[in-house]
Chains A and B, each alone.
Chain A
């Protein structure tokens, strides 16, 4: 064991040197790191608990997506059958238990109706997978049931769009380096460092921002509307700011123009200095808006956001320029938020915050300082203890620990891993356990010496016997770490990462590296007795 070939020495030193080198940028200020070559720009990211900031876990309701799809299907079926020639009359439309069913009035037309509906139920793409199943029950009722695969793919695409919309909204807020990630089937994790108060962010993400313009149904009976009943072709919506006092209003089901036709939205002021949102339509939307407003002069229309009426102004003259104003008791802040939400598009599904963790920047800085001091004290205490116990060999172990700490940081930098507060604890614990390997080896060497073996044989035996034990012990330790990484969330993951990297690097530094150093010393000095 005393003979380490030049190549072996090189193979041991090189990875350690690279690891240590990669750890350096984490301690340098931003400006200096920017000047370094690309491969050196490896830094450990700080977790939100250290840097301060907000962590939000948003969840979309899969049921909502399914319901939405069924509503869309209902609309499609109506239009399709109404448009067909001869027209197919249907009735008793209901969507219950996640199924859409309706009756074809003329039994002879059932087959034709199924024929017309089929194309609507085919999934997009070439897989030939069906999004809905169509069956005929009781010879005149058609039941459309969504397939699981169909719902799954709908949720998937809704989540993709939602993630994109959220990214746009957060970018518009001008926050730096947000992390937005889809998690599981129906969740999105949003992490924004350095944000002390996430209220504005949450308000923004909580808005679906589905904007619609519909005509007000002026023929509806006010007392029926108050009870939630609307004439055929109309629906009753909430209207909290209704000047008449009743918080409901009946509007036509048909959409004049929707938010999809917007090209821009900005916050502005009206003549009375009230905050409003100015919107601009694309050419198709502008044309349609102009057309409908020309046909309905002197009638009111409703501006609807997320199925709630914001305001229902009168159409005094045709609005032709392709732009409009949204008024409705806004503050400057809320108008600005709505403008951002409208610009970034509507969320395909409503999201709710199911978990939130916010750490103020002050606490984060305190934690880093405390963690750093604790680490330094821990290192010094452990190093002193090792020196007192094993003398020269203790110092070799200490050198190994110092390199190990740097290498862990370097590896974390290379992997772009995140250091969290429990991660710092992981560090301190790794310092403690890393010397365990050396303790095992040195105790074994002591034993072998007591048994009367000579110096070289004792060292050789000590390393050989202890290495096996160290390997066994670390495998089991890694099992615990791996489970933490797989099942843990947030901070626990940060702890597991440090622990796992630490296990891997400490075996290398504590066993291989110290063995080389010890061998070198023994070869040079040829001691007949060792003080251990």
Chain B
């Protein structure tokens, strides 16, 4: 049996040579993403803006306009409706009554339920969330804090473990991944809720994973080929790890694809975010973060110094000289 190889042996793509183009494209896309987020805004869920969210399941497909009219006549505030998953499921969002606390929110749910049951017999409320303004404020705060801490924590980790250039390039690439994800949510207007924060953190975790693998190889090659110039060295490292990068991205996309198609409507936004993040993360690992090391002035000498100072794990045996590596450039 012939085994599948997504990336042929001895692939040698000049990633570094196109870095100016890659940087320009990346910068453009990032600006677009930020612009879209600023202009259109995110469709924040009740988790983050507070309010009442009801997911109503109808026995047959239903027109949202009819539902809107029914709720509009109740005087419970301005509703926003969205078809959710399939035409039988409608998500209704309402503002929380300003006064009366829990009892009032309860009353709104009951009132809506009564009116809806009268108008559309057989309708059920399969889920509803009420989040007060205070709690939603805290959730936003914690969400933003989590993402910021994760990015900083990981950047600091790779800074201490390697040279500062690795920390900075990783940081830049991950910020890019997060901004692209935000842009995606702004453009699609998919609901941005608590679960999406988990998705963003996963993207951060995955993307860093990818960069670590390449960074690790760059460092290994820096010790192995001391005379090689940085550009060819980075190209070599990215190309050597390319089969793994592609394989892993494809496996994860396969797994997530199954979840996107079959995992039910509740997880759809979450999965879409992760799939996008993985594509963006893979792109930024290959085209952005490694090439950025050159622009940041990484040279074999910086690596030597750090390795010597720290008495690194790599061991001296490994650094004595290049191994007999056969037909490698």
Is A30 interfacial (CB-CB < 8 Å)? no
Given the contacts A439-B248, A487-B146, A360 and B127 also touching, CB distance less than 8 Å: yes
Whether the pair B244, A439 counts as a contact (CB closer than 8 A) is: yes
Is B153 interfacial (CB-CB < 8 Å)? yes
- A446: chain B residues within 8 A (beta carbon): 9, 243
- A475: chain B residues within 8 A (beta carbon): 157
Write the nearest CB–CB distance from A400 to chain B, whole angstroms.
14
Whether the pair B263, A371 counts as a contact (CB closer than 8 A) is: yes
- A363: chain B residues within 8 A (beta carbon): 55, 57, 126-127, 266
Write the nearest CB–CB distance from B229 to chain A, whole angstroms.
22
Given the contacts A481-B205, A496-B198, A447 and B250 also touching, CB distance less than 8 Å: no
Question: Looking at B106, B157, B202, which has the most chain A CB atoms within 10 Å of its CB?
Answer: B202
Whether the pair B124, A362 counts as a contact (CB closer than 8 A) is: yes
Whether the pair A57, B127 counts as a contact (CB closer than 8 A) is: no
Tell me whether chain B's interface is mostly helix, strand or loop, or mixed.
helix
Write the nearest CB–CB distance from A491 to chain B, whole angstroms.
6
Contact pick for A473, options B4, B212, B263, B271, CB 8 Å: B212
Give a binary string over A292-315; 1 marks a CB under 8 Å from any B CB, 0 the rest: 000000000000000000000000
Whether the pair A433, B258 counts as a contact (CB closer than 8 A) is: no
Contact pick for B125, options A360, A425, A428, A476, CB 8 Å: A360
Interface magnitude class on chain B: 35 or more
| Cα distance, A139 to B216, chains bound together (Å) | 76
- A352: chain B residues within 8 A (beta carbon): 101-102
Is B251 interfacial (CB-CB < 8 Å)? yes
- Residues of A350-387 contacting chain B, CB below 8 A: 352-360, 362-363, 366-367, 370-371, 373-375, 377-378, 381-382, 385-386
Write the nearest CB–CB distance from A354 to chain B, whole angstroms.
4
Is B43 interfacial (CB-CB < 8 Å)? no
Is A422 interfacial (CB-CB < 8 Å)? yes
Whether the pair B131, A355 counts as a contact (CB closer than 8 A) is: yes
| Cα distance, A47 to B328, chains bound together (Å) | 53
Whether the pair B252, A492 counts as a contact (CB closer than 8 A) is: no
Whether the pair A531, B3 counts as a contact (CB closer than 8 A) is: yes
Whether the pair B209, A353 counts as a contact (CB closer than 8 A) is: no
Write the nearest CB–CB distance from B147 to chain A, whole angstroms.
9
- Residues of B144-180 contacting chain A, CB below 8 A: 145-146, 149-150, 153-154, 157-158, 161
Tell me whether chain A's interface is mostly helix, strand or loop, or mixed.
helix
- B126: chain A residues within 8 A (beta carbon): 359-360, 362-363
Is B105 interfacial (CB-CB < 8 Å)? yes
Write the nearest CB–CB distance from A412 to chain B, whole angstroms.
17
Give a binary string over B246-269; 1 marks a CB under 8 Å from any A CB, 0 the rest: 011011101111110111101100
- Residues of A384-440 contacting chain B, CB below 8 A: 385-386, 388-391, 421-422, 424-425, 428-429, 431-433, 435-436, 439-440
Whether the pair A377, B258 counts as a contact (CB closer than 8 A) is: yes
Whether the pair A429, B256 counts as a contact (CB closer than 8 A) is: yes
- A353: chain B residues within 8 A (beta carbon): 101-102, 105, 130, 132
Question: Looking at B106, B109, B127, B259, which has the most chain A CB atoms within 10 Å of its CB?
Answer: B259
Is B309 interfacial (CB-CB < 8 Å)? no
- A85: chain B residues within 8 A (beta carbon): none
- B197: chain A residues within 8 A (beta carbon): 488, 492
Q: Give me the interface of A with B, judged by CB distance under 8 Å.
A: 49, 57, 59, 199, 202-203, 206, 352-360, 362-363, 366-367, 370-371, 373-375, 377-378, 381-382, 385-386, 388-391, 421-422, 424-425, 428-429, 431-433, 435-436, 439-440, 443, 446-447, 450-452, 465, 468-469, 472-477, 479-481, 483-484, 486-492, 495-496, 499, 531-532
15 more contacts with CB within 8 A, not counting A202-B106, A363-B57, A492-B195, are: A357-B128, A360-B125, A362-B126, A370-B262, A374-B259, A374-B261, A374-B263, A374-B264, A433-B248, A436-B209, A439-B251, A443-B241, A476-B205, A492-B194, A496-B198
Q: Give me the interface of B with A, judged by CB distance under 8 Å.
A: 1, 3-6, 9-10, 55, 57, 101-103, 105-106, 109-110, 124-132, 134-135, 139, 142-143, 145-146, 149-150, 153-154, 157-158, 161, 194-195, 197-198, 201-202, 204-206, 208-209, 212-213, 216-217, 220, 240-241, 243-244, 247-248, 250-252, 254-259, 261-264, 266-267, 270-271, 274, 313, 323-328
13 contacts between A and B (CB under 8 A): A59-B134, A206-B101, A352-B101, A355-B131, A377-B262, A421-B266, A432-B251, A432-B254, A433-B252, A480-B153, A483-B146, A488-B194, A495-B195
